[in-house]
Amino acid sequence: MSIEFIGIASTSAGSEAQGFGGPAVDPDFLELLVRTHEDAGFDRVLVAHSSAMPDGFVVADQILARTTTLKVLLAHRPGFVAPTIAARKYATLDAFHPGRIALHVITGGDDADQARDGDLSDKVTRYRRTDEFLDVLRREWESDVPFDYDGEFYQVRGGFSAVRPPAGRVPIYFGGASADAVRVGGKHADVYAFWGEPLAGIIERIRQVRAAAAPYGRDTRFSVSLRPIAADTEQAAWDRAAHILELTRERVGEVKKVFGIDGAAQVGSQRLLRYAAESDVHDKRLWTAIAKATGAAGNSTALVGSYEQVAESLVDYVGVGVSTLLIRGFDPVSDARDYGTLIRLVREQTAEREPVSV
């Protein structure tokens, strides 16, 4: 079984534990970070999106130009760029860097962050729009003759692109925990992404998405996002986790200002906070204290232990049907380098496995 590992790219140094400083775009830091990921054995890096972040298409192109094999998962919010134009932007990146770009659809769970870019629609409306956006996007990628489209949000007359990806597709990843997200993601996603819930929660969510995907004949794959805190010994890892938590609590206000996202407004965040209220540790070593401290405004649950123990827990997610692991740390460069050990261990332990159905 082939396991895909995704890290995260950033144009500036910093994390919840380190704080954020310096320019919003530091080309030298970006190059160091993505080359470290490539050397460590990552398959992709995520270029995330919020209303405050640098333009993702430019950042993705910079990453692809500065690396050789590393792929990019470029997050995009439907509603701000016409789907025909977005389709050509992704297809153009794919033409210059064949097979190295994928689309991560994030419809947007925070009304305030949407409003900063001028979108005042509610969440239910946004998911209807995302559904249409992806319908049109695929038509632009697939159609070798002009097409028309009539929808609630998009009307196209004679749509056509001279640049189209091979076989008319770029991989589509999809995130969201609400019923609307599952409905739309089940229809469109090649890979459905979850935040780091306990194994029972991931099993529940995989079943929900598979049920939504079944009418469309989709063989959806699944991703889990986690924050490994690994060290040579379990005690050293927990000591480091305690220090990270202390630093994070000191910088909570700064973190919320930088990301500008209210976790309380998002169903996925609410799920993480419920797990955090139940216990600081779930399963063998899923640690929820960072999620509790930050309001779970993003990927914020950790796996704490020795490298071997954390690898074992990652393999447990593979065992319930996950084939993509998005892992990022609290010291972006150093952790990305050290995660090479986790990647090697997980790949050794899953090489002979068959894909799982739950």
Q: pLDDT by residue (tens digit) across 132-187? A: 999 999 999 999 999 999 999 999 999 999 999 999 999 999 999 999 999 999 99
pLDDT-derived band at 109, boundaries 50, 70, 90: confident
Helix H, strand E, coil C: the string for the chain is: CCCEEEEEECCCCEECCCEECCCCCCHHHHHHHHHHHHHHCCCEEEECCCCCCCCHHHHHHHHHHHCCCCEEEEEECCCCCCHHHHHHHHHHHHHHCCCCEEEEEECCCCHHHHHHCCCCCCHHHHHHHHHHHHHHHHHHHHCCCCEEEECCCCEEEEECCCCCCHHHCCCEEEECCCHHHHHHHHHHCCEEEEECCCHHHHHHHHHHHHHHHHHHCCCCEEEEEEEEEEECCHHHHHHHHHHHHHHHHHCHHHHHHHHCCCHHHCHHHHHHHHHHHHCCEECCCEECHHHHHHCCCCCCCEEEEEHHHHHHHHHHHHHCCCCEEEECCCCHHHHHHHHHHHHHHHHHHHCCCCCCCC
Q: Mean pLDDT of all residues in the chain? A: 94
Q: Is the pLDDT of residue 110 over 90?
A: no
149 vs 332: CA distance, rounded Å: 43
pLDDT at 260: 52
* Residue 246: φ, ψ to 5°: -60, -45
Q: Is the pLDDT of residue 265 over 70?
A: no
pLDDT at 259: 54
pLDDT at 134: 98
19 backbone φψ class: left, alpha, beta (φ>0; ψ -120 to 50): left
pLDDT-derived band at 108, boundaries 50, 70, 90: confident
pLDDT at 21: 75
pLDDT at 297: 78
Q: pTM of this prediction?
A: 0.94
pLDDT at 17: 74
Q: Is the pLDDT of residue 263 over 60?
A: no
More confident residue, 192 or 1: 192
Q: Are 279 and 320 in contact (CB under 8 A)?
A: no
pLDDT at 41: 98
Q: Is the pLDDT of residue 217 over 80?
A: yes
96 vs 65: CA distance, rounded Å: 9
What's the mean pLDDT in 11-25?
Answer: 83
pLDDT at 22: 80
pLDDT at 281: 98
Q: Are 13 and 342 in contact (CB under 8 A)?
A: no
Half-sphere exposure at residue 7, Cβ-oriented, CA atoms within 13 angstroms: 31
pLDDT at 254: 64
pLDDT at 275: 95
What's the mean pLDDT in 294-317?
Answer: 95
pLDDT at 100: 98
334 vs 338: CA distance, rounded Å: 6
Identify the burial level of 322 via C-beta atoms within 10 angstroms of its C-beta, where 0-12 means exposed, 13-18 middle and 19 or more buried: buried
Q: Per residue in 224-250, pLDDT tens? A: 999 999 999 999 999 999 999 999 998
Q: Per residue in 51-82, pLDDT tens? A: 889 999 999 999 999 999 999 999 999 999 99
What's the mean pLDDT in 284-290?
Answer: 96
- Among 16-30, 189-203, 252-266, the minimum mean pLDDT is found in 252-266
